[in-house]
Structure 1
Amino acid sequence: MALKLGLWDVVPFAVMVMVECAEVGITTLSKAAMLRGMNHFVFIVYYNALGTLILLPSFLLRRNKRPPLTFSILCRFFLLGLIGICLRQICAFSGISLSSPTLASALGNLIPAFTFVLAVIFRMERVDLRRGSSQARVMGTIASVGGAFIVTLYKGPPMMMMMMINRTPAAASDPSDHLLNLHYFSEPTSANWVLGGFFMVLTCIFSALWNILQTATVKEYRDETTIVFFYCLFGTIQCAVVTLFIERDINAWILRTRIELIAILYSAIIGGVVTSGVLTWCLRMKGPIYVAMYKPLGIVIAVIMSVIFLGDVLHIGSVIGAVIIVLGFYAVMWGQAKEERLVTGEDRGVSDSGVSTLKDPLLPS
């Protein structure tokens, strides 16, 4: 029995590692497509629309198995689409287009800090500053925000720069065939870097809010496929309306290079379908804090992929800020784990895996 429990505990760990790899892949491919001229608003609409179409057969096959859909549940799905796709993804890909996937992954470690703050605001978490665990969580949150300011406002000298493969006339003739031929001169300016960082911070806030709302939703409506389908459907419609209002040029909707099509297909299948379903499942099984604790892994993956495939330059400011954010992140996680050991079952519900169930005031009693 102990062996079975141990093997089962490995499954969330393995899928969360794959999720981080997949999300960094999305940011890297999308950045490459944007460097080729693709509009990021159009990219969001295309890949979420394709993801919705992929999910449609599964949704229709489960029509006799899923719980009944009520108006309040549909409103919850609409809100998830608004926060998770329309607001979060627009801010995320706007930030990536102005900065880099490395900055996006570094600032992504703010998500657990913001999740903790929102959990306190919504009375999902209690803070007792007399306890060392609560002090660690508060100080970790402050450190994470401070590290984010460093990453965003201070670039510093470059630590390393990989010179890309020399172009040949044949290679330069078809830019869609060579993702690697992106050079240092495409690095964002300081103004764009700061603005991109601002969008990424907003993305982290929306991600934290989405994690909490998604956790509440999946505990009330236990059908991940239906949740993800309506989440993608409503988010696609909302993003399409915003894009049609902002982007009036019809030519922006035309795909011209191979990398644009690859980015859309990968993001729709891996990001829109697989990742969303896995995250929804992990949020129900482990809660929002467990999902957030894998964010530091994205920094390492993003640095490697950005330097190799995009020719990004790693700056000392990004390293210093990322280290501070990660230290703050693990301070929050240490305090969270300490709280779960100190607080008795009568104060907070604890699941069989030892992870807090985070009783959500958004759920009906």
Structure 2
Amino acid sequence: MKAYIPYMAIIFNQFAFAGSNILMKIALERGLNQLVFVVYRHVIAMLLLGPFAYVLERKQRPKPSFAVMAKIFVLALLGATIHINVYYIGMDYVSPTVATALGNVVPSFTFLLAFLLGMEKVKITSGRGRAKVLGTIICVGGSLLFTLWRSGYLFKSVVEKPLINIYNNNADHLRHHGKENWIKGSALILTSHIALSSWLILQAKVFKEYPAPLSMNTLICFFASLQTSFLALFFGRNPTIWKLDWNVQFLTVMYCGVLNSALVYYLQTWCISVKGPVFTAMFIPVQLVIVALFSIIAFAERLHLSSLIGTFFIVAGLYCVLWGKRKDSLAADDEHKDGNMKTTADDKILEISTSTK
């Protein structure tokens, strides 16, 4: 059962991220400022994680050096300040489904960075090595098909009108989802995912030096709130943007603060420490299926046949990489067992030879 805990944790994370994508799309259209949102969600997460980190990690938490604190500051910059802010700016120009589909480049970016840094071993001569490389290519190709090939047969909506109306009128819809804005939004989201991939890789490195996930994520939330507050001084000087009413904006801030920035950050750090950054990144395509199904029903979003074809390739690529990773784990376990058996045999030979003297 313990072997399946990382899988359950990372799938839960994808459901949480999918929910935040949907809520944020609605909240942004209702006037929520993304800078204010990022500050509030990380302050909430910091207040939630702080007491647990102080009590539970008193003995295992090392004294942070200046170098470690600097790396955690960069983690906050990449994973929160840059990734989240740029992502939600881009999301203002595209639908939640397209924004989530673009997230499927993260596994390939992460795999490439991990390979270049020597964190991921690939033997092209082995079946599992070819599976990981081919799966990454298939996954990226599927996401590109889903995003760029917007033609062919268009499926009829399953509902006559949206259950949730994001836009006030059709003019707002066209203004946001015109071709020029759609390209701009896609470019911004891709930029944010490069920062996310770098964050996943750096997090694995920092955790080895600072093996206290609750404390590390508390510091990440602290630095992220400071960094985004500094940005808000320049880009959000109107005091009224900090006011939250009891509506979808408040719900979105609380949801993302409690789930995404507190619980999910912690679970993600734990999964990276157990399975590595590539394993964590490879489950991001699950978000696409969740968001697409919800958007079809709630927003009356219509999908092209090309979107379904792209989804098929994304899932196929995901399974190829996971199969390769699974074979790597089994091979590593076999090598470990063989090493233990050899050590035990050598000890017995030494014991026998010693007793005969």
For this structure pair, what is the TM-score category when the shorter chain's length is used for normalisation?
0.7 to 0.9
Which residue number corresponds to residue 50 of structure 1?
44
| 8 Å CA contact retained: 1:164, 1:181 | no
**For residues 333 and 317 of structure 1, what CA distance do their matches in structure 2 show?**
24
Specify which of 73, 76, 79 is matched with residue 81 of structure 1: 76
Q: Alpha-carbon deviation of 1:258?
A: 0.5
Which residue number corresponds to residue 274 of structure 2?
285
Which residue number corresponds to residue 183 of structure 2?
194
Which residue number corresponds to residue 166 of structure 2?
182
Residues 257 and 307 of structure 1: CA distance in aligned 2, closer, same or farther (over 3 Å): farther
| TM alignment of 1:66-77, pairs within 5 A | 66-77=61-72
| TM alignment of 1:1-365, pairs within 5 A | 7-61=1-55, 64-65=58-59, 66-156=61-151, 158-163=154-159, 180-182=164-166, 185=170, 186=173, 188-256=177-245, 258-341=247-330
- The two structures, once aligned, show a CA RMSD in angstroms of 2.8
2:165 aligned counterpart, secondary structure: coil
Residues 252 and 155 of structure 1: CA distance in aligned 2, closer, same or farther (over 3 Å): farther
Paired residue type of 1:141: T
**For residues 17 and 343 of structure 1, what CA distance do their matches in structure 2 show?**
24
2:155 aligned counterpart, secondary structure: strand
Residues 47 and 313 of structure 1: CA distance in aligned 2, closer, same or farther (over 3 Å): farther
Structure 1 portions without partners, runs of 5+: 1-6, 167-178, 351-365
**For residues 58 and 130 of structure 2, what CA distance do their matches in structure 1 show?**
49
Q: Alpha-carbon deviation of 1:302?
A: 0.7
**For residues 190 and 313 of structure 1, what CA distance do their matches in structure 2 show?**
17
Which residue number corresponds to residue 171 of structure 1?
none
Residues 134 and 239 of structure 1: CA distance in aligned 2, closer, same or farther (over 3 Å): same
Residue deviations 1:199-242, cap 9 Å, x none?
Answer: 22223322222112112222332211101100111111112222
Q: Alpha-carbon deviation of 1:315?
A: 3.3
1:312 aligned counterpart, secondary structure: coil
Residue deviations 1:169-226, cap 9 Å, x none?
Answer: xxxxxxxxxx823369336222222222222222332222211211222233221110
2:125 aligned counterpart, secondary structure: coil
| TM-score normalized by the length of structure 2 | 0.82
**For residues 58 and 316 of structure 2, what CA distance do their matches in structure 1 show?**
48
Residues 308 and 333 of structure 1: CA distance in aligned 2, closer, same or farther (over 3 Å): same
**For residues 10 and 136 of structure 1, what CA distance do their matches in structure 2 show?**
22
Residues 314 and 45 of structure 1: CA distance in aligned 2, closer, same or farther (over 3 Å): farther
Q: Alpha-carbon deviation of 1:282?
A: 1.5
**For residues 63 and 24 of structure 1, what CA distance do their matches in structure 2 show?**
30
Select the structure that is richer in helix: 2
Q: Alpha-carbon deviation of 1:147?
A: 2.9
Paired residue type of 1:152: T
Paired residue type of 1:55: L
| TM-score normalized by the length of structure 1 | 0.80
Q: Alpha-carbon deviation of 1:37?
A: 1.8
Residues 334 and 63 of structure 1: CA distance in aligned 2, closer, same or farther (over 3 Å): closer
**For residues 295 and 63 of structure 1, what CA distance do their matches in structure 2 show?**
29
Structure 2 portions without partners, runs of 5+: 340-357
Which residue number corresponds to residue 357 of structure 1?
none
Q: Alpha-carbon deviation of 1:296?
A: 2.7
**Structure with bigger gyration radius:** 2
| 8 Å CA contact retained: 2:57, 2:212 | no
Residue deviations 1:57-107, cap 9 Å, x none?
Answer: 334445743222211221121111011101111222122222122123222
Residues 46 and 164 of structure 1: CA distance in aligned 2, closer, same or farther (over 3 Å): farther
Paired residue type of 2:155: M
Paired residue type of 2:13: V
